[in-house]
Structure 1
Amino acid sequence: METTIGSLLGAAPLALDRSFGAGLLGLPLPAAPAAGPALSGPVEVARGERFAVARGVAVMPVRGVLTPNAEILERFLGWATFAGIEASCGALASAEDVAAVVIEFDTPGGLVLGGAAAAGAIAALAAVKPVHALVNPLAASMGYHLASQCSDIAMTPGSLAGSIGVMRQAGWPVGPDGGGNQWQIFTSTHARAKLPNPETEAGRAEIRRDLDAHEAAFHADVARGRGIAPEDLAARLSVTDDPVDGGATFGPEAAIARGLADRAETRAAFYDRIFAAHAPRPAARRSSGRGHLAQAAAAQARATL
């Protein structure tokens, strides 16, 4: 039985940069929590927390391979899930002691499944409070999809953003297995798209149709979030004169030139600027992410009485 992180993803469509994600996918499934905080200062996010608040600013790390709700990866490794991001955004939107939110990205992307809900939650949060994205050092594919919904995007020196597009792997039996058995795969009469055969032209066309539908939604969100005309986006993402040559990652200078980011600065300078802009309170008490979730749940309960 497969026991790697990649085995959790199967052959589902991915918004993932494999150059950076392959090593993470090959790691064994964790059996115990990693040591240390999920994110270190200037605002420390403790292991097991989704965000922390200090001086009026909430900081939420989005790290690792992104999945809809893989609790084992969130609890043991501190990797973000779409369900966790959505819940955190809802809590932060109503948190009175939070003037602004920072989402710090270090992710190669992940599954397409469930990503739209997290992206929508970030966009909804950004409609009521400033949400500042910090790419440190990577916001690729689904990670960039999420970052594009923030109010603005800053990148640290040497960081990368982009890899906008969708991919999937597809296998099909073409020979006998180790025991000499030749396996075949069958679908019911009206379910050929359930498992398209990549060895046939019709199967490849169906796989491409599905991927292109996901890419169209991805592009629409990025264009809307970044204020780019949808018809111009593919050309901006291409590394040649042909708009199909997208999917690359870009450093700060190139990302800013293409409209994918707003500024480049060190992590220390970024946090200095954010805290100065949102009126830090020297005596403010640090709050935990789970505490805000509990407060939000209590407020909802009171509202329904």
Structure 2
Amino acid sequence: MISALHALTAEPWAIRPDYLYFLASLASLDRAGRAERRAAEGEDWFRLDLQAAAGPTAQRLEGARYAMLTREGVAVIPVIGPIFPRANMLTEMSGTGTSAAMLARDLQLARDSAEVGAVMLLVDSPGGSPTGINALADQLYAMRGRKRVVAHVSGSAASAAYWIASSAGELVTEKTGMLGSIGVVAAISKQVEPDASGSLSIEIVSSNAPNKRPDPQTEDGAAEIRALLDSIEAQFIADVARGRKTTPARVRTNFGAGGMKVGADAVAAGMADRVQTYDFTLRDLTRTAANERAARAARQ
């Protein structure tokens, strides 16, 4: 597990730091054990769980990986579990991991489908890799004025998940929904003594690339790593400020400073629009979808 954790944490993550240990434990599982577990559980449990939330008549949106379409025309798109740039071993092992590439495709399908009158992002995620998240935020922001999109936080919208959700036209949360964790983290390992086999790895970089392997235990090395994280964080904050119609300064001071806010406190800070239940959000979007369908029929 230690080697898996080092491999994961060396990269920048827009995720709750504690969740990296869970990902490392998944990455260290025996492959045969994973295959056996997946075969025993089957591939349909997550779809059935989402269908139960969307309603008994909901069906997979044609061509989509995640999105379910209700009979009334609401596309319910889950942002559940850790977020990765694309489908990979960890999205399969975690069971509910989200591929940013597939999420982007589902959003495009929902945007372009004449059957979809409104979209709900159902969010319960600790965040994930920042790769591709800015593009997703841009895609969601561009949907404003075309179709109504509501991000509903059922559990947590942390870090990269909040980055995405904040760009939806509306952001609502359950009373106990947790929002925020704005920031980027990386944990750089440095071997200081031999490992269990008695081997000590020593890295030597070329003369003109001292920042290729910055030493996190020196001030210069830590500053080099922090500068990279700050660059990603700056885009994160800028996208949140745009989506929430505020300023980057306000995001930095009022949106938790890396921490999270719950329900009404998140609304009071400007991080969400209102507190409401999932059922209320779905009924509200169902009315929107029905109105859109009627408007289309009238135009035709």
Normalising by structure 2, we get a TM-score of 0.82
**Native 8 Å contact 2:117 2:292 kept in 1:** no
Q: Which runs of 5+ in 2 are unaligned?
A: 294-300
SS of the residue corresponding to residue 180 of structure 1 reads coil
- Give the Å deviation of 1:270: 1.7
Within a 5 Å distance, the mapping from 1:172-191 to structure 2 comes to: 172-191=190-209
Shift of the alpha carbon at 1:41?
2.3
Mapping of 1:148-297 within 5 angstroms?
148-238=166-256, 246-279=257-290
1:135 Cα deviation from its structure 2 partner: 0.2
Q: How does 1:35-54 map to 2 (within 5 A)?
A: 35-38=44-47, 39=50, 40-43=52-55, 44=58, 49-54=65-70
Q: Report % sequence identity.
A: 31
Deviation at 1:230, TM superposition (A): 2.0
Given the superposition, is the C-alpha separation of residues 213 and 97 from structure 1 closer, same or farther in structure 2, using an over 3 Å criterion? same
SS of the aligned residue for 1:126 comes to coil
Shift of residue 8 of structure 1?
7.2
Residues 1:181 and 1:42: Cα distance change in structure 2 (over 3 Å): closer
Kept in 2, the 8 Å contact 1:156–1:266? The answer is yes
Deviation per CA, 1:190-211, whole angstroms, max 9, x where unpaired? Answer: 2222221112221101001001
- Summarize the Cα distance change of 1:196–1:179 in structure 2 as closer, same or farther, 3 Å threshold: same
Counterpart in the other structure of 1:17: 16
- Aligned partner of 1:69 in structure 2 is 86
Deviation at 1:3, TM superposition (A): 9.6
- CA gap 1:115/1:8 in 2 versus in 1, 3 angstroms: farther
Q: Which runs of 5+ in 1 are unaligned?
A: 239-245, 283-305
Distance 1:264 1:19, change over 3 A: farther
Contact 1:21 1:65 in 2 (8 A): no
In the alignment, structure 1 residue 116 sits paired with structure 2 residue 134: yes
Cα separation, 1, equivalents of 2:144 and 2:8 = 30
User: Shift of residue 265 of structure 1?
Assistant: 1.3
- From the superposition, tell whether residues 209 and 203 of structure 1 become closer, same or farther in structure 2 (CA, over 3 Å): same
Equivalent of 1:85 in 82, 103, 118: 103
AA partner of residue 54 (structure 2): P
Contact 2:9 2:188 in 1 (8 A): no
Q: 2:118 pairs with 100, 108, 124, which one?
A: 100
CA offsets 1:116-165 (integer angstroms, 9 cap, x no match):
22222222233421110000111100000000010011111211111111
Q: Distance in 2 between matches of 1:207 and 1:196?
A: 7
| Cα 1:229/1:80, change in 2 over 3 Å | same
Give the CA deviation at 1:74: 4.3
Three-state SS of the structure 1 residue aligned to 2:11 is coil
Which shows bigger deviation, 265-274 or 211-220? 265-274
Matching residue of 1:290 = none
Paired with 1:123 and 1:217, the residues of 2 have a C-alpha distance of 14
| Alpha-carbon RMSD | 2.7
Taking a change above 3 Å as real, the CA distance of residues 58 and 50 of structure 1, as seen in their structure-2 partners, is same
**Paired AA for residue 80 in structure 2:** R
Q: Answer yes or no: is the 8 Å Cα contact 1:90–1:125 preserved in 2.
A: no
Aligned residues: 274
Checking the alignment, whether the CA contact within 8 Å between 1:104 and 1:133 is kept in structure 2 is yes
Q: CA deviation at 1:276?
A: 2.0
Q: Residues 82 and 117 of structure 1 are in contact (CA less than 8 Å); yes or no, is this contact kept in structure 2? A: no
Task: Tell me what 2:296 maps to.
Answer: none
Distance in structure 2 (CA, Å) of the matches to 1:175 and 1:72: 31
**How many angstroms does 1:275 deviate by?**
1.0
| C-alpha separation in 2, matches of 1:21 and 1:265 | 30
Distance between the aligned counterparts of 2:59 and 2:22, measured in 1? 25
